[in-house]
Structure 1
Amino acid sequence: MSSTKFDVIVVGSGPGGYVAAIRASQLGLKTAVVEAAELGGICLNWGCIPTKALLKSAQVFEYINHAKDYGITVKDPKADFGGMVERSRGVADGMSKGIQFLLKKNKIEQLLGWGKVKPGKKVEVEDKDGKKTTYSADNIIIATGARSRELPAIKIDDKKVIGYRKAMTLEKQPKKMVVVGSGAIGVEFAYFYAAIGTEVTVVEFMDRIVPNEDAEVSKALERMYKKAGMNIMTSTEVTDVDTKGSGCKVTVKTKKGEETIDCDVVLSAAGVVANVENCGLEDVGIVVDKGRIKVDEFYKTNMPGYYAIGDVIPGPALAHVASAEGIICVEKIAGHNPEPLDYNNIPGCTYCVPEIASVGYTEEKAKEAGYELKVGKFPFSASGKAKAAGASDGFVKLIFDAKYGELLGAHMIGANVTELIAEIVAVRKLETTGHELIKTVHPHPTMSEAVMEAAAAAYDEVIHL
């Protein structure tokens, strides 16, 4: 018979929930996790991990198509869409089983079913047969995540109008696809489908794609995507999707007027919305503002003993943010004295090809904040390693405060830049100056040298430009 009383119950087992549970267990707290679907949540099963597997397949296909550039002859390669989807699901399933192993290893009880928070520090769990069991805990952490946002003009039917989840398990590859929204989800899927031969149109309401990135990164990605054969439409709104025929007729409004695009499938990639419904928040009296749960810097809600982390609270909806929040939350619960999370030093990564990675201020935002700037940029076309790898697209751009040399922001577009950004996050945490970064010897030949060179460019000391 399993226990019904715990020190901590975590509702949701995504990268916020399972990480919080493991840290709680490490700190000696008796812990349980409630999960209604697959362990690992959206990230492991339907988000971060399986999409990266699909993107890798597309990248390998592109390598093969450009094998001649590397002195290799390959005859008539074909993209096996079903095989790519199967590999992606296999990777996700393996990762989910890994979470199960970690929870068992850390003696965390798994409560499978739909969790609802109740007054009096209780959680009711309804299993798949409809049986309800009530558990209690001194501390309850809500980590129920988010789902695809549905736009009024684009009703998702999971057949012709799909969200990200269906986009990675379509039965067959569409000939033509319209992607609505050009944030990380939109541009990643646009790259994947275009790389394997689908005709892709990206529609973005804002005046540039990846609108949260630095303007120079947006411009570079648009140029590369157009060169790859994609149709990019910015400052454009989808007003209607007609699915009555064999395909879809997408009506868009541009500055020049209305036009119609024919396609097989529309992918709605207009961000996410928090899972705050049907979780019992109203019964407990937990305050929700603008669709997100209100919390303090240590993730306490307005009700004692109830906490929230991850995509259900304000802030960037990113897996690594949820994990960091979960750790800080349980360390505070355990009586430790953790440092609050610095939300201005959170890296953002987009895994299209070329990759995009950034942290801190964009040039525009730094100017708005009143800083006088020194900006350094180093293109990968001047990098020996990038040239040798056949990956000379993109650049590293660093933004410094002219007065004190503080590194205000970094913006990268190019091969493997999602691996380079952690250096910047670390040196910003350590309050490193531009001069210190220039004098940090980087190995040659590597892509990472571009970081040192961009810092040198900001101070007119660049060698290789």
Structure 2
Amino acid sequence: MAHHDLVVIGGGPAGYAAALYGAGAGLDVGLVERHKLGGTCLNVGCIPAKELLETAAVFRTIGHAEQFGITTSAPVVDFAKSQVRKQSIIDTLVGGLGSLLKGRKVTVYDGNGSLQADRSVQVRGGSSGDIDLTGDHVLLATGSAPRTLPGFDIDGSIVMTSDEFLSLDRIPESAAIIGGGAIGCEFASMLIDLGSEVTLLEYLPRLIAGADIDCSKVIERSFKKRGMAIKTGVAVTGHELQPEGGTRVSFGEGETVDAEIVVMSIGRAPVTHGLGLAATNVQVDGRGFIVVDENLRTAEPNVFAAGDVVDTAQLAHIGFAEGMQIIKQILGEPASPIDYNTVPWCIYTHPEVAFAGMTEEQAKEAGFDVVVDK
């Protein structure tokens, strides 16, 4: 049985940030990853999305070249080739991360990690074989997976989540995007720029509901100007596959839209299945998040949790901050709780959106005297 000062379960931003910071400070660190190093952000999130958004941006720019006095032929997108470039970028970054971990002498275990009693961790089902570990401290950083709606079985060709969408080798003629948050708006912006007919369906009264209402208005106005159909304040009730291909999505009060693909972008759920926990004091709330205090400690002594598996904003830079804050505690360094009210957000639509802190509405609700300058 191998022993480490710290065992990290999960190799995404929170996990690898903690592993690198801890190992750099002299801790003996073991990191367990069941899939690929880098987690959602690097493999099926931030990085691939930004590469494909850049493809759309280049296509959009070339399409307006004549306005700048540049004569070109009509641009054609080879989306499969763009996917090759995307995967090359991912592979390079994953390889670089592996080299960083190796350079810091972090022991990486391939397999599913589950927490048992007394901070022991079982590693099963991977190329590392069946291994049992123990740690003075354990960090649970198993990340998240896309949420879906009842009745929408993911087949990867017509009905898909962000995971499958980011591996498409074609530009669909039409798409129904379910969810008008950051992910849904980025995908919708990408597809409309690439020439797809896009319908964006959102349950809440406006797009990007977490941003200031002025941001939502700018995005909605831009989307509509580019030909996108936007339906806010509507519930999606189901879909029916069509004999000629694609599917018909039902929403609102008897409305429907036909689309070649449907993309579920209604948020992400924490991944705790298979993590063990039954023999520990670690608690999970009603939505599946691991319960932690302001210092990211669980109810099990010396067991922490961070990243998408806890109920904080699911952003890579928050994962980094949480992982590093945990290491500071382990090292006995000053570690103030993270102020989540000042975290910056960036949404890579066209136009891009960025914000931090309270919205105007939130500030007024909190009792502040708000002055708006535009």
- Which TM-score applies when normalising by structure 2? 0.97
Percent of counterpart pairs with the same letter? Answer: 37
Q: Does 1:118 align with 2:116?
A: yes
Match of residue 90 from structure 1: 88
Structure 1 unaligned segments of length 5 or more: list them: 378-465
Give how far 1:305 is off.
Answer: 1.8
* Residue of 331, 335, 338 corresponding to 1:341: 338
- Output the CA distance in 1 between the equivalents of 2:342 and 2:205: 26
* 1:285 Cα deviation from its structure 2 partner: 2.9
Question: Does 2:250 correspond to 1:251?
Answer: yes
Mapped pair 1:285 → 2:285:
no
Say if 2:111 and 2:129, in contact at 8 Å, map to a contact too.
no
Partners of 1:329 and 1:130 in 2: CA distance: 27
How far residue 267 of structure 1 moved from its aligned partner, in angstroms, is 0.1
In structure 1, how many angstroms separate the alpha carbons of the residues matched to 2:55 and 2:291? 40
Counterpart Cα distance in 2 of 1:262 and 1:274: 31
For the pair 1:270 / 2:269, whether they are aligned, the reply is: no
Q: Which has the higher contact order (CA 8 A, sep 6+)?
A: 2
Distance 1:309 1:259 in 2: 41
* Structure number, greater radius of gyration: 1
- Aligned equivalent of 1:33: 31
- Of 127, 130, 133, which aligns to 2:131? 133
Residues in 2 aligned to 1:125 and 1:241: alpha-carbon distance in whole angstroms: 40
2:260 is the alignment partner of 1:261: no
8 Å CA contact 2:34, 2:112 repeated in 1: yes
2:325 to 318, 328, 335: 328
What is the one-letter code of the residue matched to 1:218?
A: S
Tell me if structure 1 keeps the 8 A contact 2:175–2:199: yes
CA distance in 2, matches of 1:157, 1:243: 12
1:13-46, Cα deviation, whole Å (9 max, x unpaired): 1011000000111121100110011111111111
Q: How many positions carry a matched residue from both structures?
A: 372
CA distance in 1 between partners of 2:348 and 2:235 (Å): 25
Report the equivalent of 1:401: none
- Aligned counterpart in structure 1 of residue 175 of structure 2, from 174, 177, 183: 177
RMSD between aligned alpha carbons?
A: 1.2
C-alpha deviation, 1:243, in angstroms? 2.0
Alignment of 1:16-415 (within 5 A): 16-128=14-126, 131-243=129-241, 245=243, 246-253=245-252, 257-290=253-286, 291-377=288-374
Looking at structure 2, the residues matched to 79 and 224 of structure 1 have their Cα atoms a distance apart, in angstroms, of 22
What letter matches 2:223 in structure 1?
A: Y
Aligned partner letter, 1:229: G
Equivalents in 1 of 2:104, 2:152: separation in Å?
A: 43
1:130/1:151 Cα in 2 relative to 1: closer, same or farther (>3 Å)?
farther
User: Match of 1:294, SS?
Assistant: coil
Shift in Å at residue 129 of structure 1? 6.0
Q: Over residues 234-272 of structure 1, what are the superposed CA-to-partner deviations in whole Å (9 max), with x where a residue is unaligned?
A: 11111011125321010111xxx2111111100000000
- Is the Cα contact below 8 Å between 1:153 and 1:238 reproduced in 2? no
The CA deviation string for residues 66-94 of structure 1, in whole angstroms up to 9 with x for no partner, is 11122211112111111112111111111
Q: Sort the Cα spacing of 1:331 and 1:171 in 2 relative to 1 into closer, same or farther, 3 A.
A: same
Structure 2 residue runs without a partner (length 5+): none
More moved, 108-117 vs 278-287 = 278-287
Q: Give TM-score scaled by structure 1 length.
A: 0.78
